[in-house]
Amino acid sequence: FLSPSQQLVDAFFTANGLPIENDPTYTANGFSNYQAPDPNDQNATRSISNMFVNREPRFYSSITYSGRKWINPQSNIITDFTNSGNAGKGAIANNDYTKTGYTSRKHLTVAGWTTGRPIFTVIRLAEIYLDYIEALQESNPSDPDILVYLNRIRTRAGIAPYGSGAGAIAVPANMREAIRRERRVELAFEWDRYFYTREWKIAETTDTQIRGLNITQNAPGFFTPVVVENRVFQKKHYLWPIPNGEIQKVPVIVQNTGW
C-alpha cells in the first residue's frame, strides 16, 4: 500500500474523464503552481509536476505525490519524496521511504494513526456495479445496462459519463478494457487488483515490472519514471502447486501444470 506504481498513477483519468494518453490537454512535462481540489491542499505555494495537474477526483483521493500537502489539516507539511526531501530516500535512515515516489492516501483519516479497530468496507455498491457490467460485457456486449451502470460509477466519481449527450465523452471502442480500467482506479487499494489480473489471465503482462519515479534523484530528475523492480510471473503462477503431501495421500490427484 505504501508505494503505488507509476502504472496505477497513469491509469487514473484526467479531469476531463479521458485516459491520459487520449487527452490532448495532458502533459507530464514541466511544473506549475497547482493546488489539488481538496480544501486541505489550498493556500500552499509550491511547484507541482504537470503529470499531477487536472486529474480526476479519485486520483487526489488515492495518491499522495511529491509536493502534495500532507493529509492532516492541522499541519503545514508539504510532502517531498525527492531524494533529499523531507520524506525522501536520502533523508530517511531506516529505509521507511516510498520505493516509487508515491504513497497511498486512500483510507487515511485526518485524525491521525490509531491502534483501534476501524470499520472497513468489505464490499460496496460500485464493486457490485462493476461485477454486473463485466458479466454483461462478456455475455451480451450490446446490453444498454453496461453504459448505465458504468456511468453511475463515473458520475459519482465526478467525471464525464460515456455517451452522446451534453457533457458526455465518446463511448470507448474497447469496452472490455474500459471496464477493467474503471475497476482498477475505482477499487484501488481495496484488495481487488491482485485477484482480477489472475482472473483475466493478464498477470504475465501486468505483474512483471513495477515502475515509479526516480527516488535517487532530486527534481527534475526525480520525476522521470524508471523501473523500480522486475518480477517473474509465468503461466503456472495462475494456480498454486498442490502440496506433495496431499498428492501422496491421494495418488490420483494430478499436479497443477508447470509444478
Cα–Cα separations (whole angstroms), residue 242 to 7, 36, 239, 245, 251? 32, 49, 9, 8, 12
- 241 vs 94, higher pLDDT: 241
pLDDT tens track for 122-139: 899 999 999 999 999 999
Q: Which three cell numbers stand for residue 121?
A: 468496507
Which one-letter amino acid corresponds to residue 40?
Answer: N
Question: Could you give the CA distance from residue 79 to residue 85 in angstroms, rounded to a whole number?
Answer: 8
Question: Could you give the CA distance from residue 107 to residue 1 in angstroms, rounded to a whole number?
Answer: 11
Q: What is the mean pLDDT of residues 138-143?
A: 98
Question: Could you give the CA distance from residue 141 to residue 122 in angstroms, rounded to a whole number?
Answer: 28
Residue 165 contacts residue 149 (beta carbons within 8 Å):
no
Long-range CB contacts for residues 120-124, cutoff 8 Å, separation at least 24: 121/190
Average pLDDT over all residues of the chain: 93
pLDDT at residue 110, rounded to an integer: 75
Residue 80 contacts residue 66 (beta carbons within 8 Å):
yes
pLDDT tens track for 76-115: 889 999 999 999 999 987 888 999 999 999 988 777 666 7
Q: Which of 1, 4, 60 is nearest to 34 (CA)?
A: 60
Q: Which of 118, 107, 126, 122 is nearest to 189 (CA)?
A: 107
Q: Which of 179, 170, 171, 173 is nearest to 138 (CA)?
A: 179
